Amino acid sequence: MNISRTSYPRVVIIGGGFAGISLAKKLSKQEVQVVLLDKNNYHTFQPLLYQVSTGGLEPDSIAYPIRKILKDFPNFHFRLADVTKIEPASRTVITDIGELKYDYLVVASGSKTNYFGNESIEKHSMAMKTIPQSLNLRSLILENFEEALLTSDLNERNALMNFVIVGGGPTGVELAGALAEIKKGILPKDYPDLDTRLAQIHIVQSGNCLLKGMSDKASTKAEDFLEKLGVNIWKNVRVTNYDGKTVTTDSDLTFETATLVWAAGVKGATINGLDAENLVTRGNRLLVNEFNQLIGFENIFAVGDVACMVTDSFPNGLPMMAQPAIQQGEQLGDNLLALTEKKPMKPFEYHNKGVMATIGRNKAVVDLPRFKLQGVFAWYVWMFVHLFFLIGFRNRMVVFVNWVYNYIRFDREARLIIRPYKKTIR
């Protein structure tokens, strides 16, 4: 990889997500050599992916070049590389562009969509974990409307305009809200010759509430907001299969649809060599101690979604969310410096800063540690927090201007089929 050894210890970080970037920032002015490897040359702000899928934002406003984030740090190196294996015995990381030795290794590879072993759903459904996937979904939604115009078969037209979202977590709720707004505000203008009442949005949720993990008030209010927007909510229903045409469930309910969005679960993106049964726990996450250290390894750490840190309040591991990832990255930075100076490490303590979800224009639910908000003010809080955590001044400005424009004009300008997504239901 053409990275010369220096007198400083080398820390290799796999993944430039929230956890990897916050760690790299912490380390990069210190006396360590930092090598960050990522299969993309950009950081993705995943909480706004649904806006890319629904034409509210262009992808470049929620992505940021990793090299640019860390350009001022002399001890920092980035390589565009897909890590395929880790060999702890020889302290080596194997990638598609070669091998690299490490002194300390940090796995910050995040998570991937969990289909719970259902190959048919994996093959036919749409996921929304990455920018390319979000662009695929954007294209498919728009292609469906174009195709619906052409067909005279009513069943086919219904299926093209039927959107089924599996999973009532923040991703499912936010996507459903955005699709409902497209139905209301965009479809009648763009497709005056299409009966837009045919467009149906369904959320199918195996549990008995939406936004599990948030307060009862937030969950009830989100449901209320969605119902007012015309979204159909199916609770206590588990999707069992999808063949590209028909969704079957564990009840009598079935859906004919050209678009099934799978937002029903994620699992840790573990890497070969560190995926032995004793290392991986619930949700395919790497079991770490209170210092984010992999059980059984002194110099291998995991942070963010891929790490499972069990605490009294979180017996199944900390939530797979941005804040735990950012906070773990920062804390591990301090701990790695402590290690290199032979000082004791400090245990990680999670500070819950709140959870939120938006359901659409003027509608959000926010659970903060001290109080809970719903409605317009919550929506402002949601917008402020997302702008604050976006990386890059340009991105913040672009997103802010887009939001103001979309708000005033009831519009979503980025409804472009730039890279057609091919999917047939016939």
Ligand X SMILES: Cc1cc2nc3c(=O)[nH]c(=O)nc-3n(C[C@H](O)[C@H](O)[C@H](O)COP(=O)(O)OP(=O)(O)OC[C@H]3O[C@@H](n4cnc5c(N)ncnc54)[C@H](O)[C@@H]3O)c2cc1C
Whole-number minimum distance, CB 413 to ligand X, in Å? 21
Select the residue interacting with ligand X from 13, 17, 264, 365 (CB under 6 A): 17
Residue 68 found at the interface with ligand X (CB under 6 A) = no
Give catalytic status of residue 413 as yes or no.
Answer: no
In this chain, which of 201, 322, 373, 399 binds ligand X, going by CB under 6 A?
322
Min CB(385)–ligand X separation in Å:
9
Pick the stretch among 23-31, 32-40, 178-186, 367-375 that binds ligand X (CB under 6 A): 32-40
Q: Which residue is nearest to ligand X (CB)?
A: 17
When binding is defined by CB under 6 A, the residue of 36, 37, 204, 366 that contacts ligand X is 37
Asked if 229 is part of the footprint of ligand X (rule: CB under 6 A), the reply reads no
- Residue 225 engages ligand X in binding (rule: CB under 6 A): no
Which range in 33-41, 200-208, 235-243, 289-297 contacts ligand X by CB under 6 A?
33-41
Q: Is 390 in the site for ligand X (CB under 6 A)?
A: no
Residue 235 to residues 22, 202, 203, 330, Cα–Cα distance (Å)? 37, 11, 8, 38
- Tell me which of 287, 321, 378, 414 binds ligand X, using CB under 6 A: 321
- CA-CA distance, 242 to 293, in Å (whole number)? 40
Considering the complex, state which of residue 24 and residue 121 has its C-beta at the smaller distance from ligand X: 24
Residue type, 247: V
Residue 324 to residue 318: CA distance in whole angstroms: 7
Buried/exposed 184-209: b ≥16 CB within 10 Å, e otherwise: bbbbeeebeebebebbbbbbbbbeeb
Amino acid in position 241: N
3-state secondary structure 90-133: HCEEEECCEEEECCEEEECCCEEECCCCCHHHHHHCECCCCHHH
What are the C-alpha distances in Å from 282 to residues 30, 89, 273, 369?
Answer: 35, 25, 18, 27
| Angle subtended at Cα 279 by Cα 277 and Cα 280, rounded to the nearest 5 degrees | 70
**Nearest distance, CB of residue 145 and ligand X, angstroms:** 22
Which two three-digit tokens encode residue 313?
Answer: 């309040």
Cβ 386 vs Cβ 402: under 8 Å: no
Instruction: State which of positions 162-191 bind ligand X (CB under 6 A).
Output: 170-171
Active-site hit among 58, 143, 156, 174: 174
- The nearer residue to ligand X, 97 or 154, going by C-beta atoms, is 97
Q: Is 14 in the site for ligand X (CB under 6 A)?
A: yes
Using the minimum distance from each CB to ligand X, give the nearer residue, 44 or 196. Answer: 44
Please choose, out of 14-22, 217-225, 231-239, 410-418, the segment that lies near ligand X by the rule CB under 6 A.
Answer: 14-22
Q: Which stretches does DSSP call E strand in 195-278? A: 200-205, 232-235, 239-242, 246-249, 254-256, 259-262, 266-268
CB of 181 to ligand X, least distance (A): 17
φ, ψ (nearest 5 deg) of residue 3:
-120, 110
C-alpha span between 338 and 321 (Å, rounded) = 26
- Orientation angle between helical segments 18-27 and 322-340, nearest 10 degrees: 30
Residues 250-269 that bind ligand X (CB under 6 A): 269
Write phi, then psi, for 77 (nearest 5 degrees).
Answer: -130, 140
Which of 35-43, 116-124, 156-164, 240-248 is the region at the interface with ligand X (rule: CB under 6 A)? 35-43
User: x/- string (CB under 6 A) for ligand X, residues 107-136?
Assistant: -xxx-----------------xx-------
Rg (CA), the chain: 22
Q: Rule CB under 6 A: choose which of 23, 32, 35, 83 binds ligand X.
A: 83
CB atoms within 10 A of CB 79: 18
* Part in contact with ligand X (CB under 6 A); list of ranges 34-42, 114-122, 140-148, 287-295: 34-42
Sole binder of ligand X in the list 1, 8, 25, 39 (CB under 6 A): 39
Q: Which of 40, 114, 215, 240 binds ligand X (CB under 6 A)?
A: 40
Distance CA 10, CA 5 (A): 8
> In the complex with ligand X, which residue's Cβ is closer, 323 or 362?
323
**Closest approach of Cβ 16 to ligand X, in Å?**
5
Burial 273-294 (b: 16+ CB within 10 A, else e): bbeeeebbbebbbbbbeebbbb
* Interface positions with ligand X (CB under 6 A): 14-20, 37-40, 46-47, 49-50, 82-83, 108-110, 128-129, 170-171, 269, 271, 304-305, 320-323, 325
Catalytic residue annotation: 174
